[in-house]
Chain A
């Protein structure tokens, strides 16, 4: 054991030095220095201290955009499934035989997925104007990419036995998808939908920053106006909302199978 270690030691030192060097370089590039931390952390702490006590009456104003955030997430996910499912079917290896079709579907999913919902939101706000609707479409585009890929993977991982059995009865390709593949992946699909709805609510809280509806707009406004105590209320509302949805969705997910 010890002898072996000695043999590798030189490599280790080189790797370690390279790793530390890389991290130091990254820290330098991001201004992450001890002095910066020493001055920054107290500033942040002071910022949060100014939030106490929260100005509770502000809740009367923000509950509406808070609920709007949930609506955006609902429709964002509905659109995501509507767009993602067909693309996922086209991208699944065991369903779509043409490699070229799969490639196009996969690339589309990648494109949708790689561009953040905020960038999509900027685009759709430019197209249809401010409001929650472009937010929902933007969320739908980004999440279509995510869900579509997950759907495709779920379908690729099913038990091939029933598929073969239905092919053997002379059922057509789409009939096989409907009767052998979908029933198998349905619980997984629902789990994904619920989970990404949860994540969607969290994402939707920032869409307002680019004018795409939801509570994000109020948040940006209070921060820009240094209304710390109002900001606190918004943060708490977001936290409460996310927690409730978390619990609800966990509860439903545990009952699906």
Chain B
């Protein structure tokens, strides 16, 4: 098994476009270094890695998303001012703050089932930013195992995979709007809050329990026939409504109960 540097060199030779492959080193003790791919060549490089007889990376084990939000970086520059009197030079620190733009990242861990490799080959794809340009090429056409995992990253991180056959939410429900795995996600105060009867349900409830209107006729039992009773959309006294229609004693309509 060749080292990651040899692999990088071989890929650079095969894909000569500038910045097609960049080596990203991992400073930790695991030393699992990775290759950052350019979007334009990513799928071709993935196919190459899968089909190359020396590599045979036929098994894409893990796909995961990472959120790198905007970060404020403080850079310190030492400015040396020579002393006109000939003494030691004066050194002043100048701090500049710079906003390092964030991005979303997708990481693929590849192994070879044919050659039974033990160290993963790690690929990375990065989006341009976190807001309006969040597209990366999908590798599902190369490895089918990415299908659900890329859907999950789309769901939880909001990365759009170009060329994915079925890009939908997978763990959250379809109507959900945010991306919960982003670092700046704010969870709602109450997950299960739901405004009690509204819209269609409220309209139906009003007609279903024909409470008496405010008219004096409502007090007469004869006027409480369902066919003639009007929906209680004004502040009807609950006592009146209960007297008129005993079934509606526990009124499901919060507006009528006010």
Q: Do A and B bind each other?
A: no
Residue numbers of B with Cβ under 8 A of A are: none
Residue numbers of A with Cβ under 8 A of B are: none
